[in-house]
Structure 1
Amino acid sequence: MDSAATAATAATTGLIFRDATDADVDALVALIESAYRGDSSRAGWTTEADILQGQRTDPEGVLQVIGAADSRLLMVERDGALVACCQLERRYDHAYFGMFAVSPALQGAGLGKVVIAEAERTALEDWGVSQMHMTVISVREDLIAWYGRRGYRRTGRMTPFPYGDERFGIPQRADLQFELLVKPLV
């Protein structure tokens, strides 16, 4: 087995998926921040540090996801450590996928593929939804391509980035917007 295959196997074995609780908020915020913002995020490939500064989320935002009706925040643990997470929210005939983070040290080893597959399975089996939706910052071509390889298609439907609301970060460029990506689950 080559070193890439060995790393992928190590990154995806022994995983435990569970719903987050209020007691998990600090660990979740730390994981999400480390995957997207600041120097720690540069260890992985999902960093937004060059396009956004400031926070990606905060304890209040994570608590809202945990406590919302028709919402789940899935945690992924290995050997008792939080290694990934994602939000699932039922919205009529589809589920929304968000707040996706993988520890920067584990990115590129296949863990993200496993997490998104489990999220899709969960949404389909638990809610019977026909599609998964997500929004991605449209200038994140590498990330959009990664989702494309998982079966998500670009819709061209854009929503504005919330400029001036620092809860979502401090933009470093003026052309940020979100694009809707969609994948059929059935």
Structure 2
Amino acid sequence: MTPASPAPTFRTATPDDVPGLVALIESAYRGDASRAGWTTEADLLGGQRTDADMVLAVVNDTSGRMLVAETGGVLAACCQLENRDGHAYFGTFAVRPDMQGGGLGKQVLAEAERLARDEWDAAEMRMTVITARAELIAWYVRRGYVRTGELSPFPYGDERFGLPKRDDLRFEILTKKLR
């Protein structure tokens, strides 16, 4: 386990952050660099996790924001938040692999929940997680998220989301009441 991270500072991403965000997200999920942390999807998916156009679309989306966490002036983590008619959607969650295991992810998730509840008056947070990611689902469950059993297919054939290494990938919706 990594030592506790210093307290992060949070801000909303800007277009200038896009290259750093793409590198952060890719490092947390794909390739050998991702294996330094526990959030890797490298055994499930190859190819890209995101690209500059996809991240810029989130940064510019007026119905949400890309939340950035910095520690010591270094881009350390991020997540996507969308305000969706009474609930918030949480996604594109990434923590630098060399900073995983020290509590930073918990802090980012707590800040995302606070923003959704206090700024958007969202009653619930929702997310989708690949069902094969049992450790990750368990991490969210320990933080109060509930497995809904609602499943959706993985976008096979759309290389923007990666190259599947298995034919049984699908997503499950997890939810948490915020108020």
TM bucket (normalised to shorter chain) is over 0.9
The answer on 1:159 being equivalent to 2:137 is no
Mapping for residues 1-186 of structure 1, pairs under 5 Å: 7-8=3-4, 11-13=5-7, 15-186=8-179
Q: Distance in 2 between matches of 1:69 and 1:81?
A: 25
Residue 78 of structure 1: how far off its partner (Å): 1.2
Q: Deviations over 1:81-140 (max 9, x none)?
A: 100000100001100000100000010111100110010001101100100000000110
Residue 12 of structure 1: how far off its partner (Å): 3.5
Residue 163 of structure 1: how far off its partner (Å): 0.2
Q: Distance in 2 between matches of 1:69 and 1:157?
A: 27
Residue 16 of structure 1: how far off its partner (Å): 1.0
Compare the two structures and name the one with the higher helix fraction.
1
Amino acid at match of 1:138: T
Q: 1:57–1:167: 8 Å Cα contact kept in structure 2? A: yes
Higher deviation after alignment, 89-98 or 62-71: 62-71
Q: Give unpaired runs (5+ residues) of structure 2.
A: none
CA RMSD in angstroms comes to: 1.0
Amino acid at match of 1:51: L
* Large movers: runs of 4+ above 3 Å: none
Q: Give unpaired runs (5+ residues) of structure 1.
A: none
Amino acid at match of 1:166: E
Quick one: percent identity of the two aligned structures? 62
Q: Distance in 2 between matches of 1:58 and 1:73?
A: 14
Q: Deviations over 1:158-179 (max 9, x none)?
A: 1110000000000000000010
> How many residues align structurally?
179
Q: 1:12–1:114: 8 Å Cα contact kept in structure 2? A: no
Residue 23 of structure 1: how far off its partner (Å): 0.5
* TM-score calculated relative to the size of structure 2: 0.98
